[in-house]
Chain A
Amino acid sequence: MILIITASIIGVVLLFASFLLKQTSSLLHLVTVLFAAMFGVAIWEALQPTAILTQSFYLDAIRVDRFTNQFNVLITCCLFLYILLMKKHIAAVGKYKAEYFALIAFIMVGIFMLSSFNSLLVMFLGIEIVSIPQYILAGSDKENLKSTEASLKYFLMGAFSTGFLLMGITLLYGATGNFMVSEFNFLQATSINPLALGGVLLLIVAFGFKVSAAPMHLWTPDVYDGTPTPFTAFMATLVKVAAFVGFMRLFQTSFTAISSSWSLVLSVVIALTLFVGNITAVFQQSVKRMLAYSSIAQAGFMLFAIISLNAIGRQGMLVYTVAYSVASICFFAILIKMKDYTYDGFNGLAKKQPFIAALATIYMLSLAGIPLTGGFMAKYYMLKAVLFEGTYMWLAIFALLMAAVSVFYYFKVIIAMYFKEGEAAMVDAFTKEEKLYLTIGAIMLLIVGVFPTLITGSI
């Protein structure tokens, strides 16, 4: 709860910071300190003796439980890494430097609401607080038509999905007379109210938009491609993961009893997402677009946490948060330095920058899910969660086949870096500081790969 307040204050402070701090470097120092403070508060809150209990705030509209705390620590940790790696690039996007950071802080407020809501209204508020600043961030490169296009597309599709979300909430309220997700007590699928069922399906569609699950994914590649790269890195990782946590929180607390009425729909969505994401990613020429499709493909795996409805899925979500976010953010930090965003732009990187190439290899191996990296453990938990239910063997095998397909496009980067000759032209060199953060990211992935229980704890 204090975290939500902290993040809001940080947002407001940053909004006014540009009046006081004229120099970019002092602004960046302030940004680092503030986001470090956010991380610190998240840790502090998780270390409170009461953190293992479920606490409720605001007439039970917000419930902070153990999972919330764990997730908040991890997401602020990833955010801090993101800020450290990207702050220079964020400041270089446009004129209104401080605002970008302020918007990111506001998005974090929404993310913390998504990880702790108990009322559908707070959930709605959280989703909107996450979404609206993103429309601005997507269009922040005002001189660039592609950025403006991305912003408009994102806004239209976002508004559209908000309609679904509201309608879903309305139907659920009509069926139950309640906004509190913990108090929906659907007893069994047979007696389900058609209104409620409609509400649940509309919510699947709305969340499907937010997490870019097929067939609601069509906005993703264009938006991710057009958005300035530092913000793509943010949208594709932390925001997406947060949307998943909201999705999972809602479905695991409220709709477990009636799972048989929606799980078939969701399993089809998952299969489609995995298929579309992976197969389309193979044919991309631009690495940035490939990452957009790979984020769809990874979303397929993350959806396992929602369909599986068990604690293993919740743990998997935490592992996925770190493994996917860290690998993607770090790889974006490398991509942003490249002159050419196509695969050919990476040709010969291993000769020119052996250390960076080695790190990029670790990120790619992790995204591809090779053992002893975080990405493997993330997939492992998800598969375990879905197999635990017993009825989804076909889905697991399909997902694994698609994971093999994913090797195609992730390894293309490795092939370009190591086995092809080329210049690998860079916009500017990596500073020592950046190399250090990138190394920390790689070490995090390896640690999560070997000891995933460090972050899952015992929920």
Chain B
Amino acid sequence: MILITLLALPFVAALLSFILPKQAKTLALLSSAVAVLITLYLSMHIAEGAIAVSQAWLPDLGIQFALHADGLSCSLSLLTALVSFLVFLNLNNKEVPKEASFYSLLLFAQTGLMGVFLASDAMLFYFFWELALIPIYFLSSIWGGENRIKVTFKFFIYTFIGSLMMLAGLIYLGLQTPGADAFSYHALVAVGNSLSNTQQISLFVLFFLAFAIKMPIFPFHTWQPDAYDEAPTSVTIFLSALMVKMGLYAVLRWLMPLLPEGIAYWSNTVIILSIIGIIYASIIALQQTNIKRFIAYSSIAHMGLMCAAAFVQNDLALHGVKIQMFMHGINIAGMWLVVSIIENRYHTKDMNALGGIASTMPKLAIAFVIISFANIALPLTNGFVGEFMLFAGIFSSANPNHVLYMVLAGLGVILGAAYTLRMLQKVVFGTTKSSQAVKDLSINEWGVLAIVLSLIIALGVYAKPLLTLTSF
């Protein structure tokens, strides 16, 4: 019941915002605040056992409405609720025309995301996977930047092709298990494991394509910088903090248990692609002058590291991935919030035109520096906990090339520090380039950033609650 509430809450709020357009913001804030509380409550009680609901839906097709929450689902639902709350809190009604539709589409996207993280029936998972995409498509296309239509369409087509491949794989798997609940998690795991080696290897390609495009993994990443750049910042936060996690989550939740032999066969390829992605994206980030594209590339590098760690097949690394998904969600949301504030003040994304924020907006500068440090995983920030586990995991894995992988991926961290500090130097320090007077953070903005900062520090110093949560 509690899981259905989590899905119904944003959905009902989204519908209500059409009826009560003036109250859209209140509705969105209220529903996401309640969602945060519910997910927190769930997270605290998940140790007592996973929660599951299942309802008959289309028994003839083997599809049921089944939700299941364990530690990983819980932590990502918590992240979804939290990030949505921050986005709604940060949104200023004046920024977007027709704000009621904006809020309701974001709420629909939130519903889809929650569903993806909670579904335990593969077809239901697929439905939510697509459901999360449609509102994002409309949001970016209506409220985005200049090239929004083309860029968003590219993003849509990319991810849609991926999803369709996953659909083919799912139907194929579902056909192997005739019976009432052909698509339920357990049935699929059983049938996936029983497939022959070659079948698993080819099915892996179908599924992984969908997930790799979503994450995105090199060379499927080309939609991402454009989409992040053109989408309105609130949507970018949804995309980068939550939607890309869908890909990784799907690998952990579905792909790994389903097709172990496929994973074993492809793992080296995926790790190599991820590492190429890390280094490639880092080098590009080093050259970027557009601050939004810069964050986009740094995000590709981070996701690459997580994906590489997920595929070394080591418990510590896997646990690290689960942690880092949450941490990266918080950090990247923080980054985008700061960038949106800067963009609102200076109306530019060009790093060369910015500078001297430390003197004009000291409060923002402090927040920005802390969030950036978390992004390069400095100790005592939350980024460190996850990244440490990722590296330790890769290093101690049984993979014969683990040292090489570790060293190459480690290069990404060094490059990460380099590009982040370079960006900070340009944007925060140096001389003020623009002559216009700007105000420092408003109370509202300060409140939003304070939540992010306190999470960064708190989880950096004491990450145990999250460690225990994700171990269930």
Contact = CB atoms under 8 A, between A and B. Distances in A.
A453 B60 contact: yes
Contact of A418 (B126, B134, B142): B142
A407 interface: yes
Interface in B115-161: 126-127, 130-131, 134, 138, 141-142, 148-149, 153, 156-157, 160-161
B157 A407 contact: yes
A415 B131 contact: no
B398 interface: no
A381 to B, nearest CB: 8
Interface stretch (B72-80, B163-171, B429-437): B163-171
Contact of A380 (B59, B141, B171): B171
**In which size bucket is the chain A interface?**
20 to 34
Interface residues of B, number: 28
B158 to A, nearest CB: 9
A81 B160 CA distance: 32
B157 A383 contact: no
Contacts of B167: 380, 383, 400
B418 interface: no
B41 interface: no
B172 A453 contact: no
Interface in A78-98: none
B414 interface: no
Given A387-B175, A452-B58, A458-B60, A419 B168 contact: no
B168 A400 contact: yes
Most buried by B among A380, A397, A400, A403: A400
A453 B61 contact: yes
A408 B160 CA distance: 11
A407 B149 CA distance: 14
A458 B148 CA distance: 46
A397 B130 CA distance: 18
A384 B153 contact: no
Contacts of B61: 380, 452-453
Nearest to A456: B60
A407 B126 CA distance: 18
A419 to B, nearest CB: 5
B161 A401 contact: yes
Given A371-B130, A411-B156, A415-B141, A396 B149 contact: no
Interface string A357-397: 00000000100001110000000100110011000010011
A451 B59 CA distance: 10
A404 interface: yes
Interface in A401-459: 401, 403-404, 407-408, 411, 415, 418-419, 451-453, 456, 458
Contacts of A372: 127, 131
B132 to A, nearest CB: 11
Given A397-B165, A403-B164, A408-B157, A418 B138 contact: yes
15 contacts: A370-B134, A371-B127, A372-B131, A383-B168, A384-B174, A400-B161, A400-B164, A404-B157, A404-B160, A407-B157, A411-B153, A418-B141, A419-B148, A451-B58, A456-B60
Interface of B: 58-61, 126-127, 130-131, 134, 138, 141-142, 148-149, 153, 156-157, 160-161, 164-165, 167-168, 171-172, 174-175, 206
